[in-house]
Amino acid sequence: MKFTKMHGLGNDYVYVNCFEEQVDDAASLAVRVSNRHTGIGADGLILICPSDLAGARMRMFNADGSEAEMCGNGIRCLAKYVYDHRLAEAGDEFSVPGEETFEASLQIETARGVLTLGLDIDDDDKVSRVCVNMGRPILKADRIPVAIGAERIINEPIEVAGKELVMTCVSMGNPHAVFFCDDLNEIELGGVGPLIEHHEIFPNRINAHFVKVQTPNEFTMRTWERGSGITIACGTGACASVVAGVLTGRCGRKVLAHLPGGDLDLNWCEEDDCVYMTGPAVEVFTGNWPE
């Protein structure tokens, strides 16, 4: 089976072109290829599938084999693959309302629906940077979902390992709990992350993010991803964090997010209520999986 290793800010995935390859048991394959000691090594597996609705369809599996609804860094890389390998024809230019214009566009089908992406094309006719219209954030508790007696989860206390934390919850097609703090170095992410992910109030588990706001237009974050553990970047989590920052009065709608793997430009646009995320996409290497 041919595969391609790609990453967005170090959030790395194994990609399989299902226009050409067949994958019978994606969940099991995700576990094997993601293993950093006995496999290829990745945060998960992403299948690039044909679509009747868009240029391609994305299916994303975490390192533990569970299928996720969305992946912000993953979809940027998938769009690069689709364009660079000519799996679909690019559309016209793409613009963030009142902001930057990208010279080409693609539509990708996801479990969240069809998303539109803008593409920066370099001199070699390859994609170097991608902007994703991530859609409107989902804020109703029962749709995130969070099993708690409130319509929205904003500055809501949660008890974890005998300590009270304060969270704001947002879905970007997949669920996120955002915790603002003053010192990221004090967070024992490997200990608290799985406790939050598997907390009883999250029926579908959840991604956990700890965020320090430096200025109204800049924050730094660390992530525990549902099904993958500590990752050095999470695109949907960064989008959820800017929404949480606005809802709690901590930041503005346009933010530069610093993640351990690099930076993302975020814009929760007032004109259409959609979150736009812009960042790089990199192809690392290709190979053949012997199974």
CA distances from 100 to 9, 186, 214, 287 (A): 21, 37, 24, 36
Active-site residue numbers?
71, 234
Alpha-carbon distance of 161 to 18, in angstroms, equals: 43
Helices 72-84 and 235-247 meet at what angle, rounded to 10? Answer: 130
Identify which of 217, 273, 271 has the alpha carbon closest to the alpha carbon of residue 245: 217
d(CA 193, CA 197): 6
Are 86 and 93 spatial neighbours (Cβ–Cβ below 8 Å)?
no
Which among 133, 241, 235 is positioned nearest to 181, based on CA atoms? Answer: 241
Q: In terms of C-beta distances under 8 Å and separation of at least 24 residues, what long-range contacts does 31-34 make, across chains too? A: 31/63, 31/64, 31/65, 32/291, 33/3, 33/289, 34/63, 34/228
Classify 126 as helix, strand or coil: coil
